Amino acid sequence: MTRSDNSLSSFVAQPYQPLTSNDGRSYPKLTVVTPSYNQVDYLERTILSVLNQHYPNLEYFVIDGGSTDGSLEIIKKYEPFLAGWVSEKDRGQTDAINKGFRMATGDYVAFQNSDDVFAPNAFIRVADAWRKAPETDVFFGDMYITDEQDVILEELRAPEFCVECQIYEGMQVFNQSLFIKRERLNQFGLLDESLRFVIDYEIVSRLGVQAGVRFRHVDGFWGGFRVQPNAKSSTIRSVGLSEHQVVKEKYRTQLQSSLGESFWHRYCRLRKLLTFALQGEFGYVRHRLQLRRANQK
């Protein structure tokens, strides 16, 4: 996919107007946690991307690390629509998310960073998928990459979950488009607070190697990862790769497959190509192949 003129800006900038409706259907309770620290330029758009879902069974927490840039004024503006918020010094992003998860009462939980956003109809997609498969433990979808003005730069599509691909190839599931059954976090533990950059890779890998944990890919683009100069991920290269390797080595020993890493690398690449080709996404396949060749130069 080349640069698109499509944008999420109208959705994430639309003023929130509470709606009251009852269509008679059941909705799982969804808890969303937004960790934030001095992200005044983006925080309101993140909050609106949650509230503008108009999801009828939502619990939303904003966990601020003691911002001094005007973020508190934004949080207080939306306080009537939040399940709770705090602004206090913490031990970083992972600590903040876990703080929100401990307050959660939802059936499924998610975290959306304060410089990322949800896409329209994300939560309804989860509810629709849940009605079809309520035993699912992890729902995940596809993701956009956006710029600072919420213009869509790139699409990232996810195939069905494969734990070997998750561990050997890297992230198969994007935290911007991810809901996890809360009881599974209670069972297997919250996010690993020793990590700074790969907390999503670790928790998905940890759940993936557990017997009986059920993943389900749900079609559609749920979220947007924002490329911006001050994003934590902009400095991921050295520390992030080191953390990634530690997590990979930890969970590869828990895989059931006896096949080696080289096999899984080839399999995972072929699997993606075939998945998207069979879906008719030839432009997407061509674009990903071009990116891979460019990165190998």
118 bridge partner residues: 223
Question: What confidence score (pLDDT) does residue 183 get?
Answer: 98
Question: What is each CA distance from 191 to 35, 51, 206, 237, in whole angstroms?
Answer: 13, 24, 10, 21
Assess contact for 51 and 17: CB atoms under 8 A: no
* Residue 80 phi, psi (nearest 5): -60, -20
- Spatial neighbors of 260 by CB under 8 A, at least 6 apart, are none
pLDDT band, residue 139 (cuts 50/70/90):
very high
Q: Is the pLDDT of residue 197 over 80?
A: yes
Q: Is the pLDDT of residue 3 over 60?
A: no
- In CATH terms, 25-257 corresponds, of 3.10.129.10, 3.40.50.12280, 3.90.550.10, 3.40.630.30, to 3.90.550.10
Q: How far apart are CA 153 and CA 3, in angstroms?
A: 5
The CB density around residue 251, as the number of other CB atoms within 10 Å, is 19
Q: How far apart are CA 284 and CA 280, in angstroms?
A: 9
pLDDT band, residue 21 (cuts 50/70/90):
confident
Here the tokens at position 70 are: 């005007």
pLDDT digits (tens, 9 = 90+) for 234-267: 555 677 789 999 999 999 999 988 898 999 999 9
Q: What is the pLDDT averaged over residues 85-96?
A: 94
Question: What confidence score (pLDDT) does residue 237 get?
Answer: 64
Question: What confidence score (pLDDT) does residue 1 get?
Answer: 40
pLDDT digits (tens, 9 = 90+) for 156-173: 999 999 999 999 998 889
Going by the DSSP 8-state scheme, the letter that residue 209 receives in this structure is T
Question: What confidence score (pLDDT) does residue 284 get?
Answer: 87
Q: What is the pLDDT averaged over residues 38-61?
A: 97
Question: What confidence score (pLDDT) does residue 4 get?
Answer: 44
- Spatial neighbors of 199 by CB under 8 A, at least 6 apart, are 93, 94, 97, 175, 191, 192
Element (H, E) at 108: strand 108-111
Assess contact for 225 and 267: CB atoms under 8 A: no
Q: Is the pLDDT of residue 16 over 80?
A: yes
pLDDT band, residue 289 (cuts 50/70/90):
confident
**Segments making up each domain of the chain, as ranges:** 25-257, 258-296
Least Cα distance to 172 among 269, 28, 38 occurs for 269
Q: Is the pLDDT of residue 5 over 60?
A: no
First to last CA, the chain: 20
- Mean residue pLDDT of the chain comes to 92
Question: What confidence score (pLDDT) does residue 235 get?
Answer: 55
Question: What confidence score (pLDDT) does residue 179 get?
Answer: 98
Least Cα distance to 113 among 230, 228, 203, 35 occurs for 35
Q: What percent of the chain has pLDDT over 90?
A: 78
Q: What is the pLDDT averaged over residues 190-197?
A: 94
Question: What confidence score (pLDDT) does residue 144 get?
Answer: 96
Question: What confidence score (pLDDT) does residue 296 get?
Answer: 66
Least Cα distance to 31 among 114, 137, 108 occurs for 108
7 bridge partner residues: 151
C-alpha radius of gyration, the chain, whole number: 19
Q: How many residues does the chain have?
A: 297
Question: What confidence score (pLDDT) does residue 116 get?
Answer: 96
- Spatial neighbors of 183 by CB under 8 A, at least 6 apart, are none
Least Cα distance to 8 among 56, 50, 63, 54 occurs for 50
